[in-house]
């Protein structure tokens, strides 16, 4: 069974103003990079210059249509929406 490793690199800037990059590894090899910004998420497969971009509404649709619904629950802390 494959093992996945996700690492988070955050810039020395306010997160709301800069992208966050997640390096995703599978069995120790880089699978790709996920860049997250205020308006969208972009998936860059390993070795690709161009990525696949989805807005948050479309990403939510894909999760709900194709994701595996589990009995996991969200942490009891409320989600805070910060507007600039």
- What is d(CA 42, CA 39) in angstroms, rounded to the nearest whole number? 10
Q: Using the Cα atoms of residue 7, residue 57, residue 60 and residue 1 in order, give the sign of their dihedral.
A: negative
Segment 24-52, tens digit of pLDDT? 888 889 999 999 888 889 999 999 999 99
For residue 15, CA distances in Å to 19, 21, 53, 79 come to 7, 11, 19, 16
Query: Domain map of the chain by residue range?
Result: 4-66
Element at 9 (helix H, strand E)? strand 4-9
Query: What's the chain's average pLDDT?
Result: 79
pTM: 0.67
Classified as helix, coil or strand, 72 is coil
Question: Residue 77 pLDDT > 60, yes or no?
Answer: no
């Amino acid at each position: 069974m494959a093992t996945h490793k996700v690492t988070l690199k955050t810039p020395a800037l306010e997160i709301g103003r800069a992208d966050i990059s997640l390096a995703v590894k599978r069995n120790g090899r880089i699978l790709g990079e996920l860049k997250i910004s205020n308006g969208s998420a972009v998936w860059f497969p390993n070795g690709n210059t161009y990525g696949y971009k989805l807005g948050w509404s479309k990403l939510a649709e894909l999760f709900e249509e194709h994701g595996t619904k589990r009995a996991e629950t969200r942490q009891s802390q409320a989600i805070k929406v910060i507007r600039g």
